[in-house]
Amino acid sequence: MNHHLASDEISRATLRAEAVIDLDAISANVSRLHAHVQSRDVLAVVKADGYGHGIIESARAARAGGASWLGVALIDEALQLREAGDTDPILSWLAVPGERYAEGIAAGVELAAYSVSQLDEIALAARQVGRRAGIHLKFDSGLGRGGATPDEWGRVVEAAAAAQEAGAIEVTGVFSHLACADEPEHPSVKAQALEFEVGIGQALEAGLEPKHLHLANSPATLALPDTWLTMVRPGIAIYGVSPFADGQSPVLLQPAMTLRARLALVKRVPAGQGISYGHTFTTTRETTLGLVPLGYADGVPRHASNQGEVLVRGQRFRTVGRVCMDQFVIDLGDAEGAAGDPVVIFGDPSRGEPSAADWAVAADTIGYEIVTRVGPRVPRSYVGALA
């Protein structure tokens, strides 16, 4: 059931379009990944509203599938999970100075720390709250994004050891993030793993005893056993979307989200009809057009104009003309179709439906962006045992 809407509003709201989320698929994906990594800890990444699937529902499904940890970017997201009743380990890894550290610590949320100044700020908040902050130190082994560089790392681990000694924090984890795990043969993967080993060694030398060592995102969880260490951090894979460009996966991943709508209008037009803004498509013969009431405000990428395909009455049809803010047009040719017909924009390719990966190719992006960007105007509904 959609948690944003009163029950009498559901059928009206979902008349136009909805994203149906199969929570059993999320549980099953987590459970298969857990078995694949030989029962190491799984931290299921549920940031960004569970990659568009609903943070609370995705978290429940991931826990049911065996995720002992949840991962989020923001402390606000972690607090949302706590408010919904999740009491198990959560790691939050993206913060700015002045962050709500005290609230996070009071709620038992573990925090990533990237720098000495951040450690100072967290230690101060911990003293104010009167509770040790659980810390995962973030090492930049080569991604060149967040985390302490190898140059800074020595100072960070020394500061962390001192704050731990003083009773303000406890370093429970050390982690890093890979740049190119979706290309498993990329030389940076091995280089980062080696650099991370050195960083872990320095943390141990400083007297830290981090229980959780983690490096693997979805592609590494799927394809790079050397990166599994004590815990893996899959995000996109738990939602059933492959992180690889070819859409393949060595572990069966069931897509959790189906984006569907109903045709708003079906009409016959003559040859020579320009379609949608800019007339980037013109019919070459008499044809039937279907109007899909979803647009870029709902997450259908404008870049997929004249490319993306949908399923109507068991057949695939292509987008013609530009995707607009609220709607786009498909060319039904001479196929039967009527206003009100169900349209699947993407879902499970094993049912013949286009996949999020297909739309990613059409829009020259990645499946992550296709599912995560489904907008707030699209009601989510949930199916499966936990719905």
Residues labelled as active-site residues = 47, 277
Residues 1/387, Cβ–Cβ less than 8 Å = yes
In the complex, least distance from residue 160 CB atom to ligand PLP, rounded to whole angstroms = 18
Q: Which is nearer to ligand PLP, 234 or 308 (CB)?
A: 234
Residue nearest to ligand PLP (CB): 235
In the complex, least distance from residue 33 CB atom to ligand PLP, rounded to whole angstroms = 10
Residue 117, token pair as written in the block: 């100044």
Q: Which is nearer to ligand PLP, 34 or 233 (CB)?
A: 233
In the complex, least distance from residue 60 CB atom to ligand PLP, rounded to whole angstroms = 19
Q: Which is nearer to ligand PLP, 106 or 224 (CB)?
A: 224
In the complex, least distance from residue 54 CB atom to ligand PLP, rounded to whole angstroms = 16
User: Which has the closest alpha carbon to 42: 172, 167, 228, 209?
Assistant: 228
Q: Which is nearer to ligand PLP, 32 or 177 (CB)?
A: 177
Q: Give the bridge partners for 213, in sequence order.
A: 174
DSSP 128-174: HHTSPEEEEEEB-SS-SSSSB-HHHHHHHHHHHHHHHHTTSEEEEEE
Q: Which is nearer to ligand PLP, 218 or 227 (CB)?
A: 218
DSSP 257-269: EEEEEE-SEEEEE
> Do the strands 69-72 and 41-45 form a parallel or antiparallel pair, or are they unpaired?
parallel
Residues within the interface to ligand PLP (CB under 6 A): 45, 93, 177, 217-218, 233-237, 243
378-387 b/e with 16+ CB inside 10 Å = b? Answer: bbbbbebeee
Residues 111/104, Cβ–Cβ less than 8 Å = yes
In the complex, least distance from residue 183 CB atom to ligand PLP, rounded to whole angstroms = 13
